[in-house]
Amino acid sequence: MQILLLGSGGREHALAWKIAQSPLLKKLYIGPGNAGTSECGENVPLSVNDFEGIRKFVLGKGINMLVVGPEDPLVKGIHDFFLADPLLNKIPVIGPVAKAALLEGSKDFAKQFMIRHGIPTAAYKTFNVSNIDQGYTFIGSLKPPYVLKADGLAAGKGVVICQDLASALQEFNAMVRDSKFGQASAKVVVEEFLSGIECSAFVITDGISYLVLPEAKDYKKIGEGDTGPNTGGMGSVSPVPFADRDFLKKVEDRVIRPTVEGLKKDGLDYTGFIFFGLIKVNGDPYVIEYNCRMGDPETESVVPRIKNDLVELLKAVAERKLGEHRIITDPGTCATVMLVSKGYPDAYEKGKTITGAGSVEGSMVFHAGTSVKEGKVVTNGGRVIAVTSLGPGMKEALAATYRNAEKIEFDGRYFRRDIGFDL
């Protein structure tokens, strides 16, 4: 098979690393990729939202499968674009059509979906400028803390949690009236606050059946002890000790199966990955969010634990034969730490030379924000490189990850030294 993988982060490097191991693969292209993905296939200078450019490339190279890493092209309808084109519509796309990608693209859509299909989630109401006064009243009727969510995609920044009523009302106003998150906050979901511990579940589905992938926990805050502003993710661990057999069974029975069945009932054809952001409250799972793709940096901890040939699974999705497969999971623990640029998640500098990745032993190195400049690997983003280790237990995996993370250096490098601290 000739596969084009879209994206340029650590998630895509981990997927590319796994895809490249398949005997079914003839050639892998990554568009646009990063310095790390070029070791798994050929990077091509494609922008993930340039559908015409992607079309030309796919037809020119005889690509037989498109794997979409990030959410943006899915929400913008890349799968629909392929279906509508007589020359592309036989080429399978891993990633849902736009209507189904709304599970991530619209919080209000996702909440309505969950309510319709009896999937446990926080109570909520949605407001816009036309009923903003009812929004003030509703917020006033809740107890703190207050959870406000921009309806649309806001680069992971659209959820605001306010500790007191005055700041919640002010924030709500800024989102709805002052377009704090642009068009994404024209609608705002106001939600009951749930108190518990979070983890993420993942499935791959062909729209008929599904396979549950290993679960993971990620660390979103920049600072140790889960302090400071949110980031794209500073590390991850899989499996998650508190997600025991009993809890995972509830997740499958109450969340995963009803979601896949709900998509079918609603006539939403879904081929690809579903990410479930979960919170465990008194032993029970509630859905915090859906994503229409894999998470980053969860993928870096999930993919190395999957023993199956990933291309074989992707092919089964395309052929709607996923039901004939089962997931084989490594019983060990995977631990990932993300090395980031100084200043991230605020402003940071790019172009710093990265050294030491060659001396890593016993860990995997997944590039995120890197590129090659004048023959050197340099930083090209806030999240730069993920170091991942698979060990018999969390202690061993973390020890290997931290030993190797120290070896990779660049000016302003920062990473959290407490991944897994709460497990």
Contact residues for 224 (Cβ-Cβ < 8 A; gap 6+):
416, 417, 418, 421
**Closer to ligand AMP at the Cβ: 73 or 158?**
158
Q: Which of 39, 50, 198, 409 forms a contact with ligand AMP (CB under 6 A)?
A: 198
Q: Is 197 a binder of ligand AMP (CB under 6 A)?
A: no
**Whole-number Å distance between alpha carbons of 114 and 122:** 10
**Closer to ligand AMP at the Cβ: 29 or 286?**
286
**Closer to ligand AMP at the Cβ: 183 or 353?**
183
DSSP 355: B
**Whole-number Å distance between alpha carbons of 191 and 279:** 14
Q: Which of 32, 53, 77, 277 forms a contact with ligand AMP (CB under 6 A)?
A: 277
**Whole-number Å distance between alpha carbons of 42 and 248:** 38
Q: Is 289 a binder of ligand AMP (CB under 6 A)?
A: yes
Q: Which of 132, 142, 159, 186 forms a contact with ligand AMP (CB under 6 A)?
A: 159
Q: Is 421 a binder of ligand AMP (CB under 6 A)?
A: no
**Closer to ligand AMP at the Cβ: 122 or 405?**
122
What minimum distance in Å lies between the beta carbon of 142 and ligand AMP? 11
Instruction: Count the neighbouring beta carbons within 10 Å of the beta carbon of residue 305.
Output: 21
Q: Are 317 and 92 in contact (CB under 8 A)?
A: yes
Instruction: Count the neighbouring beta carbons within 10 Å of the beta carbon of residue 361.
Output: 8
Q: Which one of 15-23, 136-144, 182-190, 192-200 is the stretch in contact with ligand AMP (CB under 6 A)?
A: 192-200
What minimum distance in Å lies between the beta carbon of 70 and ligand AMP? 15
Vertex 344, ends 338 and 346: CA angle to 5°? 155
Q: Is 187 exposed, middle or buried (0-12, 13-18, 19+ CB in 10 A)?
A: buried
What minimum distance in Å lies between the beta carbon of 165 and ligand AMP? 17
Bridge partners (DSSP) of residue 212 are: 203
Give the x-and-dash track for 119-148 against ligand AMP (CB under 6 A).
Answer: ---x------------------------x-
Q: Are 231 and 386 in contact (CB under 8 A)?
A: no
Residues that bind ligand AMP (CB under 6 A): 122, 147, 159, 191, 193-194, 198, 277, 288-289
